[in-house]
Structure 1
Amino acid sequence: MNVRRWSLVLGAALAVGLVGAPAGQAASEPPEPAPHVSSADGITVATDALGSTVTWKPRTDVPMGDARPEFRVGDQRIGVPVPSEGALALRVDRRLRPAQVSVVSGGRVLAGAKLTIAELKAGGSGGASRADTVPTVPAVSRVLDRDPAKPGRYRTSAFTYALPSVHIPGYPAAVEMRGHVVAPVGAAGRRGVVLFLHGRHGTCYSPGGDEVSIDWPCAGGMKAIPSYLGYTQQQKLLASQGFVTVSISANGINGQDDMDIDSGAAARAVLVRKHLDVFADWAAGKGAGPAARSALAGHLNMRKVMTVGHSRGGEGVDRAAIKARAGDRFTIAGQVLVAPTDFGQQVAVGIPTTVLLPYCDGDVSDLQGQLFVDQSAGRATGDRALRTSVLVMGANHNYFNSQWTPSLAAAPAQDDWWDDEDPVCGSGAPQRLTAKQQRAVGSAYIAAAARTYLTSSTTARALLDGTPVRAASAGKAVVLTHALGGRRTGLVRADVSPHFRASAHATASVCAGFVDGSARPCARDDSVQSPHWSPLQWGWLPVAPHAVKVAWTAKAARVAFTPTRPLGSARYLDLRVIVPPQKSRPTFQVVVRDAEGGSTTLTPQRSASVLPGAPTGAGWAQNVRVRLPKGVVLAPSSSIVLRSTSSRGVVYLLDVYGSAPGLVRSTANVLTVARLSLPAATVVPVAVGQQSATLRIPVRGASERTGSVRLGIIDPQNGETTVVDRVIRPGQTSLDVRLARAWDDAYSDSEDGPDYVVVANATHNSVVDGYIGGVVARSAAERPHVVVDDVEASASPGQGLRWVVKLSGPVSRDVEMTVRAIPLPDPTWTELAGRDLLPGWAADHLAGAPSAAGVSAAGLTTSVVIPAYATSAVLEIPVRAGVSFTGVRHVALGLDTSEFGGVVPPLIGTVTSAG
């Protein structure tokens, strides 16, 4: 099967299997509905006994961007549709009406029911209306001593290269190998390398016009949009500081990833690694390319590579890190993900990561890139890589790239924030950044990451480790950070059964980020949505993150938490705290009670603020840091107390860490843990009558520790999902998964799609590369062949010419064979004419109107369909009653048996006229 067609089949199966089925449970059967189909505004809903199939056929082009269109009912996301014959389709296990459904992308309604501002922001009353007073977040006061965005001492030079295009599996058109290099002049020694990858944007434009497309290759008269030139400012800054930089073009992927089940993540990863291989060649003084590349020989440190990925490019570079192999000639030592997608929910073990989240992202508006940080917690033993989340108030999605910015771009460009009057993110909002200001922020944090991840310098680390400090080069921008990893010790985590107690005037309870059956959902408590507990757009294998909701109604109210381990050598306590919308700013102190009964009251270096309503940003966790005095020791009998200093307030506590400055070398990375990659298509043989089959998933890697992975097995026939958690032992080379179903004597193949869809998510000491695949359980029955016992048929006018077409054995799906009229084998015969056939039937099966022309010249085409599990079907050509001619007329038919084989001579039909 074609890989792109397979992707569509997988997507359709995934949409059926994963919407509405909680982890570990089969999808429940709703009451039996009456079959019904209705439509409104291009949205069609077909209900049946198991739920509804929602289909939307766009009347205009779907906006070109990195987010995927999603279906909503009010403020509830019901799922992400998949491509299906020019439309987008989604299967849900509930009855819906078209008037209920909205099609939304990047916070904009594309079709269907209009949504309120609160519903669009998915935050209920948490969204700011135009009548609200919008809270302003104060800037961090302390300025970093040495600004990482200060230009360095090197002059820079630049060149662009274009190498032969490459073929990526599943993509019909070749993908370009084009890059723009900016390097320092006169920098001695081997220099770190920084690679930039842009996201999904338009690919082609009409010079002098306003036409933009996402085709590949570009049509005649159109030019390729140079998205890869949009990071030149950042490249020049890094090159002046001694780094060699390259920004690569991915238009060939953008123009073809619409049918990829992973939205092009694997393809982008392959492209990144191909460019890094080119640089490895250049570092060794070999390989093709422009003459200018010879200056790089001996000056590239390919063991010090940092990748910077924007939007879908962010997920692409993360996947490139996951694909690391022992024989690689390069090492990805860090990554910066700018407004990234995270459809795959995977973590690159051991890779220091900085995620930039633009608060006013009008494309990836759910800020799902936050999960690159959150899901790293406890993912692998020994993974101490620093992972930083950077929330940039007032930044949008596009302006990090100058080629996506109006007045700077070669092609038409726009502000992706869709509501110019929005009081939080509209162009006139107080904290909204200009394009120049936004790129300055991006440059500062990318440069900070390069200095921290690729050199021994510690001067920029405070920008990334949760310290309340800012860079002067970021100007007026308000930037908030929190971090996991590094020199941190987990003391309290809401998702691992924290122990706490509340005093009078205070309450504390665990809530779930989304409903998973174990706790009430946090999102419904205060109508605040959060990127920390987004189940993502596919919602596969969700593990609901948790928070402790802490509320108080008086000053000096207390909630005490018992730490799970000793404090160690920590210098600070870092608390990640979500502040939902409320009338006043909730404030608290932290009281540390040691094992000896003594207590110390600590005031945060910076209190958390109420964030203004934006799509999900208001639910982002801010870092509340307190400095520990010398001599404080926390033991299991100690406590960490939140003591209110405001008269009332509500916060959600995600976790508490003991932290210290500095980085720690990880003893775990993508090469030291178990690695799974699900093939796009796997065939599992089963014997006739067998009650189950076994899917064997290869496990690779050099893991010396026990790992685990979560698998979802989806049966597309009924939408049932079985979720299993599997342990991977050291040295284990495969995982065996039992597929329970009885197979019969019928031959089966993959033409109707997979029998099962399998999805995977690494949970501990493991990584997953290909995270979704299809399984065809193929019966051991032999492939049948086509047989026609009697190839001659006869009839009189008013009757039909009939042949019985057979298969030598049953097939588990319908088998359709094309039949065409061919020239008569005997030139002395007279051919049946188009007007000799029943008029209605002839109109459907001739290339033109029925006439006196012979049916072969008229292009007679029909088909015969043998139903699933049947072994024969009748092919009939109906002849008109009252046809009068002298003698007999003939027709010769060719039967296409190429799919199943079998030698069938031409079918000969003879019609004898009574006249």
Structure 2
Amino acid sequence: MRLLGRAVPVLVLLGGLLGAPGAQAAPPEPMVAQGKDWQVQAVPEGARVTLQLAKPLPVRDALPILAADGVPIGVARQSPDQRVLSLLSPDKGLLKAKKIELVQPGQASAKGVSGDTTDAEWLKAPQGPPLAVDPGAPGSYGVRTAEYDLGEQAVYLPGLERKAEVLGKVYTPVGATGKRPLVVFLHGRHQVCYGGRLVLGIRPWPCAADEKPIPSYRGYDGPAKALASHGYQVVSISANAVNANDAATYDAGAQARAELILHHLDLWKRWSTTGGGPFGRAYVGKIDLTNIGLMGHSRGGEGVARAAALNADRGGAYGVRAVLPLAPTDFARATVPGVAMSVILPYCDGDVSDLQGQKFFDDTRYSVTGDAAPLSTVTVLGTNHNFFNTEWTPGQSEAPSSDDWFDTGSGPCSPKSASRLTAVEQQAVGTAYIAGFFRLQLGRETALLPLLDGTNSHPKSAGKAVVRVVAQAAAATRRDLQRFDQELPAGAVSGAASARVCAGAAGPDGCVTTDEPWNSPHWVSAAFVPEARTTAVTKLSWTGRSGVLKVDVPAAQRDVRRYAALSFRAAPDPAGVPKSDLTVRVVDGRGRSASIAVSAVSDALLRLPGSPGTGLPKNLLRTVRIPTASLQAVDLRDVRSIELRTDRLDSGAVFLSDLSFSTPSLGRSAPTTLPELSASSVRGTVQEGDEGTQTVNVAVTLSRPSNRPVTVHAESTGDTAKTVADLTFAPGETRKQLPLTVTGNPRDSFDHFYVSLVLATPREAQLANSFGTVKVADDDPTPTMTINSATASERDGVLTFPATLSAPSDVYVYASGTVDDGTATIRQDYTVPGDPGTDPPNRFVFALFQPGQTTTELTIALTDDTTPEPTETLTVTLTDAERADIALPTTLTGTITDDD
């Protein structure tokens, strides 16, 4: 997928990444596969796949994914009218496809059917012991709110290549003295404007004169006020300009969001030291810039993760010590080492439905030896994507909003289900965990440790919510025994059991077999680096009760008295029984042992609720935690082995990961000083050319030599020859080069586009510039567009204005304008596509050429009445065009003849 590398002046492209389909595609050959709303065309490079949608795809955080015969084939580009999805694939096998469909997470063909035997059990699932301190309860300080607005285009963001608004809502603890920790909230990707005339869902930034910006930044009053009432300074910032333009960026806006956060921190540095701006000296000496937390919702989650890395790259100018991605996207598999992190995963997320944010935890947990920062994930059953933000919640929002979960039937995420939380209940649990995390990590309130240490202690304000926390303690208070990501030693598995390492949701090494990959957050591929290996685990299978998986404890690690618990992550095989079980047996040097059933301490081996076809149930590893205090029969000074025994069921299969002894702790969190990995951007511009290929080398560098091997995955994006590599920098090595291929052809494309090299999943290093780019100039002439006037009878039902291009293009080409009454009257004699039936009527018209097309139509529906009428006319005035030469304005006449 090649990402659009320049701004589109007329229309903002929303609802997914609109990438230039590639400068290498030759004129399409005859279509070789088609359905009612899809087609596959043969091109020299493979296949061009196109899907026509019945209605525009809503603006959302996830990227649209196309599938062929149920198998996902890649992230799709979206047309300017949001109704057409397309991608170019090198897989010629797609020419035999029987069905192309949108399988964006949350768009599964749900039937709303429940009935899994585990659903009822989750309704009565234990919530965990009560938490002594309720982080959702108000504190002793009053809260004063204010807003600052420095303009809609107040700061230039290099990652966006344009200006953005600087707007924030401030929550201040009244009467608090001294410097206060600062927490910054960043909302996710949402529609940016509302009201005014509907224009096919397309919204530019700034908003039109008859529209209002959607105040997404005001949607987090609950956690913001909870924190401020306990003495924290909170700022929630607006990112509408990023949302309106991130389809035109190479990284879906992550860098721009990070730059926006750091710009706001720069402002608060000034306002809290020298004063000025909208607050004068009100905050001088009152902000602790060495103790900062960041919360990002959805694409904002990727933004705060990137902001932590960007801050470290800039020398750790700010003390970012805690990062909370809320229902986040993770398109590029970044890591967040050195900084305390908790990822909140809403089980009923209908937008980022694959819960891809789980990979922030998975990829970070062993990324740096001796990492002192704790990590956790918080899975909340019954919660969706939108309702954590009141401005995205029906009945609470200023602008129109909706429930993102698509299933209105009887499933566990349906609004009709007893397990689904109301919006108010969801916001309460969000407040508890967001406020609790920052109070724990920035305020060092140890009484809140049980909230996030894996014991699943339940805060009172979370109400009936069922929450499952998976935690990894800081390295200093953790003893890793077996990660289960490599083949086990010979003899480790005996009896009627077998074990293999798996990673991914398909293929010979895959963990599960499914046509719904978003069911398995650990193993679903990432949009920008689909070839990067996902979390490796051990799959333990058995056919009898004699199976044993034994982990021997090395002599130097046998004294475990200092640790509070033995734990591991586990999940049942979705192809097996809904309820599985194992016995954990701990053996000491004298042969004494203690045995505990997994089911007695955890529901990790109980399948999560939901039925296939709805994106559920999720296959998520959860915590099995056995307090060492319960191992009274064992000498904790001399633990020799841990056994997982299959003596409780005749057959089964489970996934295993991360066996360790640990003690919860606050750990230490600060901006990292690790060596930094960067992919270079090639200076200047590469001319595309009319034929052949060019190889451009992109350097991958390490900022300084490391005394440990440094590894990183590298993968190219763009419709080019694929570059995939797993790089290892030996101690002392700091530079490698990888080739990117630019293919020339004589077809028009965007004037400039980018081929990118993406760095992902680093080990023993921090990512600095994780995207390296090659800027390519298209040198082909822009085609000429011709649109002619039209004549039709009422009985034809449609007035068709034929449009042609002088040559095919590799990009979406379109013209737009308005229709005006002549002697024909809108809604009486004709209607315009996309008219929602509100006043005033929509008069916006649109003609779109898909990539490779040279003919299309601009259509207006006609009303066939029984009243004799004279011949009538209307006028179409084309005022805007993109990627084509056409004289503007162009006036067309539509003539309607009567059939009565």
Q: TM-score range by the shorter chain?
A: 0.7 to 0.9
Select the residue among 515, 530, 547 that pairs with 2:520: 530
Matched, 1:155 2:103: no
Q: CA 1:690–1:232 in structure 2 vs 1: closer, same or farther (change >3 Å)?
A: closer
Select the residue among 457, 460, 468 that pairs with 1:480: 468
| CA-to-aligned-CA distance 1:555-583 (integer Å, 9 cap, x gap) | 56433234578355432111101124454
Q: CA 1:416–1:59 in structure 2 vs 1: closer, same or farther (change >3 Å)?
A: same
Q: Which moved more, 1:429-438 or 1:761-770?
A: 761-770
2:681–2:772 contact (8 Å) kept in structure 1: yes
**1:456 equivalent in structure 2:** 444
| CA-to-aligned-CA distance 1:635-687 (integer Å, 9 cap, x gap) | 89634333543454432112212111213336x8533232315438666899x
Structure 1 counterpart SS, 2:331? coil
Matched, 1:270 2:259: yes
Query: Which amino acid in the other structure matches residue 760 of structure 1?
Result: L
Task: State the Cα distance separating 1:264 from its structure 2 match.
Answer: 0.9
**2:505 equivalent in structure 1:** 514
Task: State the Cα distance separating 1:467 from its structure 2 match.
Answer: 1.3
Query: Which amino acid in the other structure matches residue 390 of structure 1?
Result: V
| CA-to-aligned-CA distance 1:11-43 (integer Å, 9 cap, x gap) | 8999889xxxxxxxxxxxxxxx98535544443
Select the residue among 302, 317, 320 that pairs with 1:332: 320
2:17–2:252 contact (8 Å) kept in structure 1: no
Structure 2 Cα separation of the partners of residues 482 and 843 of structure 1: 56
Task: State the Cα distance separating 1:279 from its structure 2 match.
Answer: 1.0
Q: Which moved more, 1:532-541 or 1:630-639?
A: 630-639
Select the residue among 710, 716, 722 that pairs with 2:713: 710
Q: CA 1:503–1:307 in structure 2 vs 1: closer, same or farther (change >3 Å)?
A: same
Structure 2 counterpart SS, 1:432? coil
Q: CA 1:367–1:584 in structure 2 vs 1: closer, same or farther (change >3 Å)?
A: closer
1:390–1:482 contact (8 Å) kept in structure 2: yes
1:692-771 paired onto structure 2 within 5 Å = 694-700=697-703, 705-713=708-716, 716-717=719-720, 719-727=721-729, 729-730=731-732, 732=734, 734-737=735-738, 757-771=756-770
Q: Which moved more, 1:571-580 or 1:262-271?
A: 571-580
Task: State the Cα distance separating 1:363 from its structure 2 match.
Answer: 0.5
Task: State the Cα distance separating 1:715 from its structure 2 match.
Answer: 8.4
Matched, 1:382 2:370: yes
**1:592 equivalent in structure 2:** 586
Select the residue among 587, 591, 602 that pairs with 1:606: 602
**2:665 equivalent in structure 1:** 662
Q: CA 1:352–1:681 in structure 2 vs 1: closer, same or farther (change >3 Å)?
A: farther
1:183-332 paired onto structure 2 within 5 Å = 183-206=172-195, 214-291=203-280, 294-324=281-311, 325-327=313-315, 329-332=317-320
**2:77 equivalent in structure 1:** 82
Structure 1 Cα separation of the partners of residues 693 and 202 of structure 2: 51
Structure 1 counterpart SS, 2:226? helix
Q: CA 1:170–1:187 in structure 2 vs 1: closer, same or farther (change >3 Å)?
A: closer
Structure 2 Cα separation of the partners of residues 691 and 439 of structure 1: 53
Q: CA 1:625–1:694 in structure 2 vs 1: closer, same or farther (change >3 Å)?
A: same
Q: CA 1:255–1:50 in structure 2 vs 1: closer, same or farther (change >3 Å)?
A: closer
1:422-433 paired onto structure 2 within 5 Å = 422-433=410-421
Query: Which amino acid in the other structure matches residue 672 of structure 1?
Result: L
Structure 1 counterpart SS, 2:146? strand
Which is higher, the Rg of structure 1 or of structure 2? 1
2:341–2:374 contact (8 Å) kept in structure 1: yes
1:541–1:761 contact (8 Å) kept in structure 2: no
Q: CA 1:550–1:817 in structure 2 vs 1: closer, same or farther (change >3 Å)?
A: closer
**1:904 equivalent in structure 2:** none
Q: Which moved more, 1:479-488 or 1:549-558?
A: 549-558
2:184–2:235 contact (8 Å) kept in structure 1: yes
CA RMSD of aligned residues (A): 4.2
Structure 1 Cα separation of the partners of residues 393 and 147 of structure 2: 21
| CA-to-aligned-CA distance 1:254-283 (integer Å, 9 cap, x gap) | 111122221111111111111111111121
Q: Which moved more, 1:75-84 or 1:419-428?
A: 75-84
**1:615 equivalent in structure 2:** 615
**1:891 equivalent in structure 2:** none
**1:414 equivalent in structure 2:** 402
Structure 2 Cα separation of the partners of residues 88 and 263 of structure 1: 17
Query: Which amino acid in the other structure matches residue 501 of structure 2?
Result: V
Structure 1 Cα separation of the partners of residues 565 and 277 of structure 2: 52
**2:648 equivalent in structure 1:** 645
Structure 2 counterpart SS, 1:418? coil
**1:69 equivalent in structure 2:** 64
Task: State the Cα distance separating 1:506 from its structure 2 match.
Answer: 3.5
Structure 2 runs not aligned, ≥5 long: 785-803, 808-900
Q: CA 1:279–1:776 in structure 2 vs 1: closer, same or farther (change >3 Å)?
A: closer
Structure 2 Cα separation of the partners of residues 290 and 593 of structure 1: 64
**2:567 equivalent in structure 1:** 574
| CA-to-aligned-CA distance 1:422-458 (integer Å, 9 cap, x gap) | 4211011121000111011111111111111102221
**1:136 equivalent in structure 2:** 121
**1:889 equivalent in structure 2:** none
2:483–2:657 contact (8 Å) kept in structure 1: yes
| CA-to-aligned-CA distance 1:509-547 (integer Å, 9 cap, x gap) | 333323466x35433599994111111234434113222
Query: Which amino acid in the other structure matches residue 274 of structure 1?
Result: H
Q: CA 1:577–1:377 in structure 2 vs 1: closer, same or farther (change >3 Å)?
A: same
Q: CA 1:299–1:540 in structure 2 vs 1: closer, same or farther (change >3 Å)?
A: same
Structure 2 Cα separation of the partners of residues 262 and 53 of structure 1: 23
Query: Which amino acid in the other structure matches residue 620 of structure 2?
Result: W
Q: TM-score, normalised by structure 1?
A: 0.74
Q: CA 1:244–1:720 in structure 2 vs 1: closer, same or farther (change >3 Å)?
A: closer
Structure 2 Cα separation of the partners of residues 401 and 777 of structure 1: 40
Q: Which moved more, 1:756-765 or 1:65-74?
A: 756-765
**2:870 equivalent in structure 1:** none
Query: Which amino acid in the other structure matches residue 572 of structure 1?
Result: A
Structure 2 counterpart SS, 1:235? helix
1:360–1:396 contact (8 Å) kept in structure 2: yes
Q: CA 1:669–1:589 in structure 2 vs 1: closer, same or farther (change >3 Å)?
A: farther
Count residues in correspondence. 752
**Percent identity at matched positions?**
32
Q: CA 1:726–1:550 in structure 2 vs 1: closer, same or farther (change >3 Å)?
A: closer
Structure 2 Cα separation of the partners of residues 309 and 12 of structure 1: 24
Q: Which moved more, 1:33-42 or 1:323-332?
A: 33-42
Query: Which amino acid in the other structure matches residue 435 of structure 2?
Result: A
Q: CA 1:145–1:89 in structure 2 vs 1: closer, same or farther (change >3 Å)?
A: same
Task: State the Cα distance separating 1:196 from its structure 2 match.
Answer: 0.6
Task: State the Cα distance separating 1:380 from its structure 2 match.
Answer: 1.3
Q: CA 1:179–1:520 in structure 2 vs 1: closer, same or farther (change >3 Å)?
A: closer
1:602–1:627 contact (8 Å) kept in structure 2: no
Structure 2 counterpart SS, 1:403? helix
Structure 2 counterpart SS, 1:496? coil
Q: CA 1:274–1:693 in structure 2 vs 1: closer, same or farther (change >3 Å)?
A: closer
Structure 1 Cα separation of the partners of residues 737 and 176 of structure 2: 53
| CA-to-aligned-CA distance 1:704-750 (integer Å, 9 cap, x gap) | 64422222357855x34342413164583x43335699x99x99x99
Structure 2 counterpart SS, 1:323? helix
1:693–1:740 contact (8 Å) kept in structure 2: yes
2:712–2:760 contact (8 Å) kept in structure 1: yes
Q: Which moved more, 1:273-282 or 1:210-219?
A: 210-219
Structure 1 runs not aligned, ≥5 long: 18-32, 110-114, 119-127, 779-811, 819-841, 846-915
